[in-house]
Amino acid sequence: MTTAEWIISNAWVIWLAVFLLLAIIEMLSLDLYFIMLGVGALGGVAVALSGGPMWLQVVVFCVVSLLMILLVRPIAVRHLKKSPEGFRTNIERLIGEDALILEPTSRLSGSAKIHGEIWTARAEANSPTMMPGTYAVVRRVQGATAYLEPAPLAPEN
């Protein structure tokens, strides 16, 4: 038996190996493309085990993969990215929070304590330099830098 004959008679093994490879790649990438191709490879396994010719295995792989990418993936992505109403990520939760200035904070340098963590901080473009011991409000976060504005003064009672 030649190698070509063995591959044709045991094509299901090749399709299964392709599925496993695609599943591993999907675990590393997490974009839901490779797993859709993997489902197509499982279609190839089914045709190979039922004794279908190689051209039919390839056609089933292509059609099933295409249908999975066009029909199933958008629904799966929509469900994965769905978040509850008003849900904010950790970074978004910092916006509007108070920050204690730890060192002089200007547009060029500074640091502040926000929720018990020390952050690199910068003053917003139109904000004056803020001095240590004063409070500011987080307006935005970009990367690992919090951009602050001086906190409004509390009215005296």
Question: Please, which pLDDT band fits residue 156 given cuts at 50, 70 and 90?
Answer: low
- Nearest residue to 130 (alpha-carbon basis) of 156, 101, 155, 152: 101
**Percent of the chain with pLDDT strictly greater than 70:** 93
Please tell me the chain's helix, strand, coil percentages from 3-state DSSP, rounded to the nearest 5.
50, 20, 30
Residue 154's pLDDT is 59
Residue 85's pLDDT is 65
Element (H, E) at 73: helix 73-81
> Locate tokens 């001086």: which residue?
150
Residue 103's pLDDT is 94
Of 2-11, 52-61, 106-115, 131-140, the poorest mean pLDDT is in: 2-11
The predicted-structure confidence for 86-114, as pLDDT tens digits, reads as follows 666 677 788 889 999 999 999 999 999 99
Residue 35's pLDDT is 96
Residue 3's pLDDT is 86
Residue 139's pLDDT is 93
Residue 5's pLDDT is 85
What's the predicted TM-score (pTM) here?
A: 0.55
Torsion angle of the four alpha carbons 23, 27, 32, 34, in this order, in degrees rounded to the nearest 10: -40
Q: Which residues contact 34 (CB under 8 A, 6 or more apart)?
A: 22, 23, 25, 26
Residue 83's pLDDT is 66
The predicted-structure confidence for 1-28, as pLDDT tens digits, reads as follows 788 888 888 999 999 999 999 999 999 9
